[in-house]
Structure 1
Amino acid sequence: MARRNKMTEQWHCIGCGVTIQTTDPNELGYTPKAAIEKGLENEEMYCQRCFRLRHYNEIQDVALTDNDFLQLLNEIGKTDALIVNVVDIFDFNGSLIPGLHRFVGDNPIIMVGNKVDVLPKSLKKPKLIQWMKERAFEEGLRPVEVLLTSAKKNQEITRLLATIEQYRKGRDVYIVGVTNVGKSTLINQIIQQATGVKELITTSRFPGTTLDKIEIPLEDGAVMIDTPGIIHRHQMAHYLGKKDLKIVAPQKEIKPKTYQLQPQQTLFLGGIARFDFIKGEKSSFTAYLANDLLIHRTKLEKADAFYEKHVGRLLQPPAEDELAEFPELVRFEFSIKERSDLVFAGLGWITITKPGVIAGWAPKGVNVVIRKALI
């Protein structure tokens, strides 16, 4: 039955042990008041997250503070386990867990690039995997495998499970990732394919915290452990509301858009990013961005004034009512020698076909990087 703390008159979820609260749906332990009344009648008190997991096989993201996650990583580093690190292929830099390589120890890592379903068919996946490996190496990670999946479309999940089985060798599996990478959707697909067990919730909290981890039993007695997502401060997703995020984050297969630009011309990607063609020959530039994100062209000399006048209105997102909290755009300049992609973390990329000088602008804290063209 539900457990009550008589000292504080608080209820605790019998699924994960977290303290029940009714005020903030985005925080741990949230339960609607009506559900509490029903839980008291049945003597079964679940937080909304555990209730949905128990009845619908749905797992919700739970965001942790940096200190909470640091404690979680320390715990993982002390175990002998396989680590599955889920990242967003459209926000690779923003979805890397800071310092992960320092905590995993000798535990092997499988890196999973999610949201492959929205990539244009012209992109060669081996090139993307190679780029992901190189970027991971730069961050100190040495994944034993890099896979591409679509949790939303249930693509490559069977292959992922086979790869996990290949490397875990009887050990537990920790699935880790920052928020907004699709980790929970991926876990839901894994649950459907890997186990028919109904009682999926087990209580296991780390010492000194209110963190919960959800354990999915495997056939040999080991468990696959879903860990709550950490908030990465440099994700594009954290600067936008849910409505705008649906416009910016690709939802369907990207349809490339090509622009013929003269030097000293600018493209605005809504009001959240900007591309300047500073020097070079007239050439084509192809944008691989969400299909609903509007692009506006103007002269470079007028770009600052154009942005100041139209951001939040003609240049959306961000919406006008979100401008007060939206960061300033920061400029990154690059000299291009070969066919390259200018990557806006969390948005997509623009392919530059000829040598020249270009600049990319993004909200302060969001990365803009150059890579060898993938297409």
Structure 2
Amino acid sequence: MTEEIRCIGCGSVIQTEQKDSLGYTPMSALKKGEETGEVYCQRCFRLRHYNEIQDVALTDDDFLRLLNEIGTKDALIVNVVDIFDFNGSLIPGLHRFAGNNPVLLVGNKVDILPKSLKRGKLTQWMKERAYEAGLRPTEVVLTSAKKNSEMIQLLETIEKHRQGRDVYVVGVTNVGKSTLINGIIKATAGLQDIITTSQFPGTTLDKIEIPLDDGHFLIDTPGIIHRHQMAHYLGKKDLRLISPTKEIKPKVYQLNAGQTLFLGGLARFDYIRGENQGLIAYVSNELNIHRTKLINADDFYAKHVGGLLQPPREDEVSEFPELVRYEFSVKEKTDIVFAGLGWITITEPGIVAGYAPKGVEVLKRKALI
């Protein structure tokens, strides 16, 4: 049996197969490390040399263990969610593990939303959804990990709520948590020059501690895989395709009843009954939308998924979940939300249906714009 090798930075078992899992290092780096006697996982290597924190995925059991530990501490919990995929990025049952600790809810990626979406309206909507999920955040903050000024404001908010305690940053995968942590490091290092790579002890295999001025720590935790994220079904290329990096440009479609829109091959919107109206799609600028007749939509999808309707790609179609249908009656200006993809705004009354991969939610909400 081969003796296991552990990362000297965080203690995780070194492995060379799964890039997004704990302990990953390329084989070439492992061989170099064995020669020098200093083997680091890629996450610790990048942290040590480039001040970059990479997110890795924990199993559900690992994450539950971590959450249970957080509940026993006196700490501020910073829960990072993706504004674009709010429901898909909420941590199920977080309120049960927080104990008496305050939770700061941080909506990341605000920079990609259309400027016509008012921050106050979005913050209120997030607060209402959090309450529905049993979470009672002390404050809801919108931010962009890409903007230094936003990171400084976020740090000030964290400072206001932590009151001399440690801070645990938690989030599911793909919410931009590692970018946000790196943004905080950059903003802090730029301001006070207090952070150097040597000050990031990878204390255990599941968290990294970033020292604060008063001897406490901002603790980065790996992301949990949320089974109901659209991202869970996509490869990295397609994930970049559906995850906007620039401000979304709304796309307007004039639809009659009996017409269908396909969002790539990932989701579908049927306009079943109602007057001719303009619908507005808020999705990644890179995602192609195809219009067809509702009567032909099933056959159209079966024929073109993986080809004209991408993602998924042709070689992924057999593994891709079936699309599940949700029907909605619309009486006022409404958003039909496809978790992880975006939403379609309906301005007039009608009957519509939304489809998404099995396990991914389609929701109705009062229009945010």
Same fold by TM-score, threshold 0.5 exceeded? yes
From 343, 350, 359, the counterpart of 1:349: 343
Counterpart secondary structure, 1:10: coil
Whether 1:46 aligns to 2:44 is: no
What is aligned with 1:208?
Answer: none
What is aligned with 1:287?
Answer: 281
Indicate if the aligned counterparts of 2:256 and 2:277 stay in contact, CA closer than 8 A: yes
Residue range with higher mean Cα deviation, 33-42 or 16-25:
33-42
Letter of the 1:200 partner, please give it: Q
Residue range with higher mean Cα deviation, 144-153 or 339-348:
144-153
Counterpart secondary structure, 1:90: helix
CA distance in 2, matches of 1:272, 1:144: 36
Whether 1:93 aligns to 2:87 is: yes
From 13, 16, 19, the counterpart of 1:19: 13
From 183, 207, 222, the counterpart of 2:177: 183
Deviation of 1:356 (Å): 1.1
Residue range with higher mean Cα deviation, 155-164 or 227-236:
155-164
What is aligned with 1:4?
Answer: none
CA distance in 1, matches of 2:202, 2:300: 55
Deviation of 1:192 (Å): 1.6
Whether 1:162 aligns to 2:156 is: yes
TM, length-normalised to structure 1? 0.94
Indicate if the aligned counterparts of 2:265 and 2:306 stay in contact, CA closer than 8 A: yes
What is aligned with 2:195?
Answer: 197
| Structure 1 residues 249-275: Cα deviation after superposition (integer angstroms, max 9, x where no partner) | 212111111111111111111111111
Indicate if the aligned counterparts of 1:263 and 1:280 stay in contact, CA closer than 8 A: yes
Letter of the 2:283 partner, please give it: L
CA 1:311–1:22: 2 relative to 1, 3 Å = closer
CA distance in 1, matches of 2:123, 2:143: 11
From 297, 306, 316, the counterpart of 1:312: 306
Indicate if the aligned counterparts of 2:145 and 2:179 stay in contact, CA closer than 8 A: yes
CA distance in 2, matches of 1:49, 1:157: 22
Letter of the 2:240 partner, please give it: K
Whether 1:219 aligns to 2:213 is: yes
CA 1:262–1:126: 2 relative to 1, 3 Å = same
Indicate if the aligned counterparts of 1:332 and 1:361 stay in contact, CA closer than 8 A: yes
Deviation of 1:38 (Å): 2.9
Counterpart secondary structure, 2:321: coil
CA 1:298–1:155: 2 relative to 1, 3 Å = farther
What is aligned with 1:328?
Answer: 322
CA distance in 1, matches of 2:24, 2:262: 40
CA distance in 1, matches of 2:354, 2:40: 47
Whether 1:62 aligns to 2:56 is: yes
Deviation of 1:8 (Å): 6.1
1:97-246 to 2 correspondences below 5 Å: 97-154=91-148, 156-195=150-189, 196-198=194-196, 199-205=198-204, 211-246=205-240
Indicate if the aligned counterparts of 1:117 and 1:252 stay in contact, CA closer than 8 A: yes
Counterpart secondary structure, 2:84: coil
CA distance in 1, matches of 2:274, 2:149: 41
CA distance in 1, matches of 2:99, 2:312: 41
Indicate if the aligned counterparts of 1:17 and 1:212 stay in contact, CA closer than 8 A: no
Indicate if the aligned counterparts of 2:44 and 2:202 stay in contact, CA closer than 8 A: no
From 312, 333, 345, the counterpart of 1:339: 333
From 279, 285, 292, the counterpart of 1:298: 292
Indicate if the aligned counterparts of 2:200 and 2:211 stay in contact, CA closer than 8 A: no
Indicate if the aligned counterparts of 2:269 and 2:352 stay in contact, CA closer than 8 A: yes
Indicate if the aligned counterparts of 1:16 and 1:201 stay in contact, CA closer than 8 A: no
CA distance in 1, matches of 2:212, 2:281: 43
Letter of the 1:185 partner, please give it: T
CA distance in 2, matches of 1:309, 1:217: 55
CA distance in 2, matches of 1:312, 1:275: 18
CA distance in 1, matches of 2:92, 2:206: 21
Deviation of 1:222 (Å): 0.4
Indicate if the aligned counterparts of 1:174 and 1:225 stay in contact, CA closer than 8 A: yes
Deviation of 1:299 (Å): 1.2
Indicate if the aligned counterparts of 1:108 and 1:143 stay in contact, CA closer than 8 A: yes
What is aligned with 2:246?
Answer: 252
Specify every segment of 5 or more residues in structure 2 that has no aligned partner in the other structure, as ranges.
Answer: none
| Structure 1 residues 135-170: Cα deviation after superposition (integer angstroms, max 9, x where no partner) | 000000011111111113445111110000000000
Indicate if the aligned counterparts of 2:168 and 2:218 stay in contact, CA closer than 8 A: yes
| Structure 1 residues 155-202: Cα deviation after superposition (integer angstroms, max 9, x where no partner) | 511111000000000000000000000000100111122243221332
Counterpart secondary structure, 2:58: coil
Indicate if the aligned counterparts of 1:336 and 1:354 stay in contact, CA closer than 8 A: yes
Indicate if the aligned counterparts of 1:268 and 1:297 stay in contact, CA closer than 8 A: yes
CA distance in 2, matches of 1:256, 1:338: 20
| Structure 1 residues 218-256: Cα deviation after superposition (integer angstroms, max 9, x where no partner) | 000100000011000000001111111222121211111
CA distance in 2, matches of 1:361, 1:159: 38
Number of corresponding residues: 364
CA distance in 1, matches of 2:149, 2:269: 33
